[in-house]
Every structure is written in C-alpha cells, then in structure tokens.
Amino acid sequence: MKTIHIDQMERSVKMNAMPKRIISLVPSQSELLFDLGLLSKLVGITKYCEYPLVLKKKIEQIGGTKNLNIEKIIALQPDLIIANKEENTKEQILELANHFPIWISDVKDLKTSIEMVEKIGVLTSTLEKAEDISLRIRNSFKLLVNDSQRDAAYLIWRKPYMSAGKDTFIDSMLRMAGFRNIFCNKERYPQTDLDYLSEVQPEVIFLSSEPYPFKEKHKAEIQQRCPKSIILLVDGTYFSWYGSRLIHSPRYFIKIKEEINKLIDE
C-alpha cells in the first residue's frame, strides 16, 4: 500500500510508509538524516556531504549537488530521494523522478526549515526525533537578542565576487543574527566587486567558508580596499545549512557579534 506525502513544492510523493534505501542530495539534509538515526538507511550522498565525517566513510557518493551521477543513483535503487529546489538541478531531478519517489524541500527561512525537519520526520517515520530537533532549534533561536543591527555583506564567491541577496536563507539568518544585509534589495545572488565594497564600506564583511573557501589572503586583499570594515572569515554552514545544524547557529552568531564588539572596542 502506497502512502502519499506532500513535499515543500506542493508535489505529491507516493512511497512506502518506511523507506529503507534513502539517497540525500543535500549536505544539510544528509546531516539531518544522520541526526534522525537513519544512517543505516542511507545508501547515497553527495561529495559535499561532509558532516558528520562518518557519512563520507560509510556511504556511497553519487556526485555533486548539481552534477549527479544518474547511472550510479539508478544502480543503488533507492526507495526515496531527498532533494532541494535550489541546490539541485531541475533537469536531473525530473529525470530521477521518472524512476524513484523524490521529496523536494524549499527552505527560505527559519519557519520553512523547521517545517522541512518535521515533514522529513513524518516521511521517514522518525517524527518524535524530528520534533525534538525542531524544538531545540526554536529554543536556540530564543537566545538571540534584537539589539542594534550593523550593515553587512556576506560574500559566497570570488572571481567574480558574489553575495547572498534577497529571498535567500542566508539573508534570513543574517537578519536573525542582527545584521542588515546591504544586498537585501538586490537579486538572490548578486555580483559585486571591490570598487563597490570600497565605496559602500559596510560595517562588517563576512567571507564564507563555502561554496568558495575564503582564506586569510582574501581577507587581506579586501581589507586593503575596505579599511573601515570589519572583515571576518566565517563557517558558512551555520548561515546556510537549514537542518539540525541550526541548533548551534545562534550560539555561533552570538560568538561572532562578541568578536565584532571586541574589535570595535580595541
């Protein structure tokens, strides 16, 4: 007997009540599946699914989030694939949907991330654990204080420089962390350059660890053009991973704000 689930794209997904062979196409959702106790059910992950480390040691890799190895996925014969609207390629998802049940998330903010956690809990018969995770996420975000906000740019790429813009999960996290995204009225991932950043001189410039791995040398390069800005290398997973890692994001944001305040006081 088939069970029908509605994903975050409002699609009907028909599948058996309890999947036994799951493939995850998104790093943050792979980590969530592990935290739901589903390691033994995972048969495929992407090469970017790095946390926890046991995933890469035990689970078959099926390519990148946007360049999946379709033949390998078909050979693994999953009874459920968990994907994401933004992180995966539409054409590949449609091709896989011809063969397997695919549940697609569409996460834009804290509300939809918690909804995703609980829906996957229902999907995988782990609702009790999912509700515990969602409660811990809610309680963690209560730690954040709505104090004065600082103008910030959050860079995700270099050559060309690209930033997180409007309607992105990163933008929503910046706001909750207490920052005003200077690109919040631009496209979702606008291009920028050092001339513009030098002109605007935002109070804070975040250089993310992913998808582009910014390093100290890049920080020095930008600091030379933006001497008034505080420039920080940050762990991008706390800003962009929308699964169980959100439990720890607020504490990371608080730590960052404390570091910024310390640098201002010096």
Long-range residue pairs from 214-220, CB within 8 A, at least 24 positions apart, any chain:
214/155, 214/158, 218/158
| Integer Cα distance of 48 and 39 in angstroms | 16
Average pLDDT, the chain: 95
pLDDT higher than 90, residue 264: no
Q: How many CA atoms lie within 13 A of 3 on its CB side?
A: 13
Q: Give the start-to-end residue ranges of the domains of the chain.
A: 3-140, 150-265
Check: pTM over 0.85? Answer yes or no: yes
DSSP output for 175-229: HHHTEEETTTTS-SS-EE-HHHHHHH--SEEEEESSSS---HHHHHHHHHH-TTS
pLDDT of 149 above 90? no
pLDDT of residue 146: 74
CATH for 3-140 is 3.40.50.1980
Q: Which amino acid makes up residue 126?
A: T
Contacts of 141 (CB under 8 A, 6+ apart): 110, 176, 246, 249, 250
Q: Which of these CATH numbers, 3.30.870.10, 3.30.300.30, 3.90.550.10, 3.40.50.1980, describes 150-265?
A: 3.40.50.1980
Asked if pLDDT for residue 169 goes beyond 70, the answer is yes
C-alpha atoms less than 13 angstroms from C-alpha of 102 in its C-beta half-sphere: 21
Q: What element of type H or E holds 261? A: helix 249-265
Rounded mean pLDDT, 15-27: 92
Tens digit of each residue's pLDDT (9 = 90 or more) over 71-95: 999 999 999 999 999 999 999 999 9
